[in-house]
Amino acid sequence: PVLVVDFGAQYAQLIARRVREANVYSEVISHTATVEEIAAKNPIALVLSGGPSSVYAEGAPELDARVFDLDLPVFGICYGFQAMAQALGGTVAHTGTREYGRTQLSVDGGVLHDGLPATQPVWMSHGDAVTDAPEGFTVTATSAGAPVAAFENAERRLAGVQYHPEVMHSPHGQQVLSRFLHETAGIKAEWTAANIADALVEKIQEQVGPTGQAICGLSGGVDSAVAAALVQRAIGDRLTCVFVDHGLLREGEREQVQQDFVAATGAKLVTVDAVDTFLGALDGVSDPEEKRKIIGREFIRSFEGAVAEVLGENATHGADVEFLVQGTLYPDVVESGGGSGTANIKSHHNVGGLPDDLQFKLVEPLRTLFKDEVRAVGRELGLPEDIVGRQPFPGPGLAIRIVGEITRDRLATLRQADSIVREELTAAGLDQQIWQCPVVLLADVRSVGVQGDGRTYGHPIVLRPVSSEDAMTADWTRLPYDVLETISTRVTNEVSEVNRVVLDVTSKPPGTIEWE
């Protein structure tokens, strides 16, 4: 892999993603890894990430200069660029000019910026600056606050930039990173969906062996669907998929799993109809946390029941199911400490945690992948766009989008409104721009309206369109007024209980994406 050395800022994962967008496999490794540990991973190049603002800052992570003895191509970014300059004998100084945000970069030759505009906007965030490049390096860009904003040593395959090429605000950043990987480091672009799928299928076959049996819970979401499709391709009918319908799904989701997923993969599917059980257990409950707890508990019960049945059936055929398929993604692995020293900041609230007494070996085919790669692999495997392009949807489903108690009528109302909203957003071509758009029913609120000649006393629904990279932070999406208008008109005309449509314009923080 290309190893992205994480100097503790939140940028390392983003860089790893960008490397993969250049079709090169990458992993994140902590800056606390020793040179030996780095070498043991057989990297083909290193990228040194951003970090604290200054190499002189108290407790600033140090770069072991011996990494350069590994004779690998190295690309330094921001802090990594300064650390590289310092380790190789250049000068990093307190210049007194801080650059933060959009900055004009002047480019002068070199491989990295070849073919790109001579002046271009880049995203800067630094206090100190490199004032002298190390010997043997050519300075290839400058900015007002950074006399050395980029340098290269083509012969040693070393290069670096003071700015952040990985962020959106550096419009040519991806090209620069790409040029480093393909031109400076000479790495081939082989990390493609087709290659990934083939390699993963092979790995699953190796793990599960020629007779092993596996079981997989489908949530209707992208991850479990792609994980299951990969395992299906690897071991065919030795995989059984289990889908629990808890009655809190959106319009068409059960059919998507039962028909579209099965049609695309040929997977063996057991559906558990647990609607009555779930709605019974949720009866009269309006507290969000309590809803979550009940759903989590019931989910495990239903899943367990189904698994016991499958196990029993297979046992009579003389085979044991010993593998459980899970859709764990690379960010979860990194964030739970599996990849770097960065703190565990994401609270995982997935429904479907399994009881300890179910003894399975885990098959986690997506463990090395980012979400966009999971989607690409899903498309490669022929999964329909409805499933692959699906926006995130919480495990507890519509239960946490009805503010108040959950009833069948309220679910029907919300389902209908949600379906209209999704239809219109898709029709307007906005799916790519939106991370997700919860539609929330304020079931305990009523307001007066007028429709036709009569007075109405109905409920409001809230549109919560958000843009985000990872759901940790989010901004409300500026939807075009004409799209809002269509949605509002359709919802109030077609959904009889709803007489008002309101828009949530809160970022996260302070608001969460979901209302409960």
Sign of CA dihedral 293, 420, 474, 221: positive
Cα 141 from Cα 265, distance rounded (Å)? 51
Q: How far is the CB of 400 from ligand XMP (least distance, A)?
A: 6
The CA distances from residue 280 to 55, 192, 246, 406, in Å, are: 59, 47, 11, 10
Contact assessment for residue 124 and residue 103, using Cβ atoms and an 8 Å cutoff: yes
Buried b (16+ CB within 10 A) or exposed e, 488-501: bebbbeebebbbbb
Q: Is 222 annotated as a binding residue?
A: yes
**251: annotated active-site residue:** no
Cα 105 from Cα 101, distance rounded (Å)? 12
Contact assessment for residue 126 and residue 98, using Cβ atoms and an 8 Å cutoff: yes
- Asked if residue 350 binds ligand XMP (CB under 6 A), the reply is yes
Exactly one of 43, 165, 217, 395 binds ligand XMP (CB under 6 A); that residue is 395
Q: Is 224 annotated as a binding residue?
A: yes
Site string (408-447) toward ligand XMP, x via CB under 6 A: ----------------------------x-----------
DSSP 103-114: EEEEE-SSSTTT
Distance of CA 129 to the CA centre of its chain: 33
Q: How far is the CB of 419 from ligand XMP (least distance, A)?
A: 17
- Asked if residue 396 binds ligand XMP (CB under 6 A), the reply is yes
Cα 25 from Cα 36, distance rounded (Å)? 21
Q: How far is the CB of 475 from ligand XMP (least distance, A)?
A: 12
Q: Is 26 annotated as a binding residue?
A: no
Q: Which residues between 467 and 486 bind ligand XMP (CB under 6 A)?
A: 471
Cα 351 from Cα 362, distance rounded (Å)? 17
- Asked if residue 224 binds ligand XMP (CB under 6 A), the reply is no
Q: How far is the CB of 445 from ligand XMP (least distance, A)?
A: 20
Give the SS3 label for residue 365.
coil
Q: Which residues between 290 and 309 bind ligand XMP (CB under 6 A)?
A: 292
**58: annotated active-site residue:** no
User: Cβ closer to ligand XMP: 39 or 471?
Assistant: 471
- Asked if residue 331 binds ligand XMP (CB under 6 A), the reply is no
Cα 296 from Cα 186, distance rounded (Å)? 49
Exactly one of 32, 119, 473, 512 binds ligand XMP (CB under 6 A); that residue is 512
Number of residues that bind ligand XMP (CB under 6 A): 14
Does residue 510 have a cis bond before it (omega within 30 degrees)?
Answer: yes
- Asked if residue 341 binds ligand XMP (CB under 6 A), the reply is no
Q: Is 338 annotated as a binding residue?
A: no
Q: How far is the CB of 359 from ligand XMP (least distance, A)?
A: 24
**385: annotated active-site residue:** no
Kindly name the residue from 27, 31, 78, 126 that is annotated as catalytic.
78
Q: Is 302 annotated as a binding residue?
A: no
User: Cβ closer to ligand XMP: 212 or 394?
Assistant: 394
Report the 10 Å Cβ neighbour count for 444.
11
User: Cβ closer to ligand XMP: 378 or 395?
Assistant: 395
Q: How far is the CB of 435 from ligand XMP (least distance, A)?
A: 7
User: Cβ closer to ligand XMP: 97 or 350?
Assistant: 350
Cα 97 from Cα 77, distance rounded (Å)? 19
- Asked if residue 388 binds ligand XMP (CB under 6 A), the reply is no
Kindly name the residue from 27, 99, 166, 516 that is annotated as catalytic.
166
- Asked if residue 507 binds ligand XMP (CB under 6 A), the reply is no
Buried b (16+ CB within 10 A) or exposed e, 263-291: ebbebbbbebebbebbbebbeebeeeeeb
Exactly one of 22, 351, 403, 462 binds ligand XMP (CB under 6 A); that residue is 351
And the tokens for 35?
A: 């040179």
Per DSSP, the chain holds a count of helices (H) and strands (E) of 15, 23
Residue list for the binding site? 219-225
Catalytic positions are: 78, 164, 166
Binding site for ligand XMP (CB under 6 A): 292, 349-351, 392, 394-396, 436, 471, 508, 512-514
